[in-house]
Amino acid sequence: MQSPKLLRNAQTQHGDASSVDVENIFLHRHMLSTNPSSGGNITDREESPECVWFPDDTDGNPAKSKDPPISLSEEKSETQTKEILAEKRKASSADDEGHVKKVKLDANGLKTKRPGFSDERYDETSYYFENGLRKVYPYFFTFTTFAKGRWVDEKILDVFVREFRAAPPEEYERSLEAGKLTVNYEKVPKDYKIKHNDLLANVVHRHEVPVTSQPIKIVYMDKDIVVVNKPASIPVHPCGRYRHNTVVFILAKEHNLKNLRTIHRLDRLTSGLLLFGRTAERARELELQIRTRQVQKEYVCRVEGRFPDGTVECNEKIDVVSYKIGVCKVSPKGKDCKTTFKRIGEVGSDSIVLCKPLTGRMHQIRVHLQYLGYPISNDPLYNHEVFGPLKGKGGDIGGITEEQLISNLISIHNAENWLGLEGDQIVSAEIKGGATSTSVVENPLNSETAAPVISETLEPNNATATQTCYEEPDRSFDPKKTTSDPQCSECKINYRDPGTKDLIMYLHAWKYRGVGWEYETELPDWACSSSIDYDQL
């Protein structure tokens, strides 16, 4: 491990900082240049609690950093020469400091340049299949974060209990006592008060949430781009309790598709088209097309009730109620949004609806359908009484404030962080050396029949070496590959396996059409492709 004196931090990659994993960062060393043209402040870490570290190169040969020779008139005395040199070095130093303070790592600009994860990270653990699910063997992982300003002068135990909530307070207390939770790589007492620039590190025994074992099918691939059909339940990139059970990790570990650039994202429970860039140039090009609304998107969903005839257009503004838990609602203070809907079929009392979002706001389709009074049938968030008796129809959230809505969501909702306990917590008396699979099946998925078949709209480049499989998951649980930690509370709990209702939401990204390209997938079973003529749409 690098000495703390030889470490410096950089910004994180994705979304809400509280849900970003430490290794979810992609930065080239040259991006840390102190070129003032970059603008901004590289030292601003207020919204970047998870960091990655690079060796400091400033301890190299000092001869390489000498000032260039200064041409002086021969009439100047040696004393004058020294004074001029000193003044010049002083000015240069001040300029350099100014340049460093002006540097800004623009997340939007760097998104397509990050080179990805190291093989060491991919090798932390491996997969196995069980009950139609993809599971990850538990593994040890170190979370690191620099202290935020609001944490300063607060007790470290209080901060972890309030800010992270990934474990009960007593577990954080045990971690402090055992030296697993450190400050600047040193053990501290639980009443230690956090200081500015403290580096907090917490070694945890990590248990990831199972996802579907349906394969991530390649729709199209060439040297510049990869297009896949993402199954529902798999997040795009590491976040929260998901790391190896994410699209970017699975593609890297099983298809050797590494260093992919994220162009856009889908919600964890949404299935369908997902585009990645293999080159920075192509990624920037496609991202620009999406940002400038040159990409036409078509989604299919299944909603409650009989959706109205004809084309329905919703132009209600959408505001983010809470970035921390990822919840939005229609609000006049929100951002402009536009979505068109058309009923294309019926299934019992539900309707199959074609959705065309003309803007790209967070949860746009789901929120607009909630507002119209036709929420997605199995949407665990926006089809819920937590939004009031009308479930948010017409913007009615039951007369409560947004603050109360957030509080209620945090206390009862588990849409984005599913954890199913088998009845009460089943605590084993002792963790034995010979671990076994402890899952309990509830409505297991049949990956053989549930996996959709992909319709390739373009001929993929079969000559690409990374088309082949790289690492095959275990077909069953292998106790030799698992790890345990006597102080890990999750090792003592039996979890219920998630069922279909926990893994699938009836929303599918069907078609994307941009400038000079078009991709689509076949539709999931719930979309009733056998009874609806999608070709006529």
Give the residue numbers annotated as catalytic, written as ranges: 267
**Secondary structure of residue 45 in the 3-state scheme:** coil
Kind and range of the H or E run holding 129: strand 127-130
* Parallel/antiparallel/unpaired status of strands 318-322 and 327-330: antiparallel
CA distance 411 to 134: 28
**Secondary structure of residue 362 in the 3-state scheme:** coil
Q: What are phi and psi of 128, to 5 degrees?
A: -150, 155
Q: For 456-524, what is the HEC assignment?
A: CCCCCCCCCHHHCCCCCCECCCCHHHCCCCCCCCHHHCCEECCCHHHHCCCEEEEEEEECCEEEECCCC
Cα 101 versus chain centre, distance: 29
**Secondary structure of residue 64 in the 3-state scheme:** helix
CA distance 154 to 152: 5
CA atoms within 13 A on the CB side of 286: 27
The one-character DSSP state at 114 is: -
66 burial level (CB within 10 Å; 0-12, 13-18, 19+): exposed
First to last CA, the chain: 58
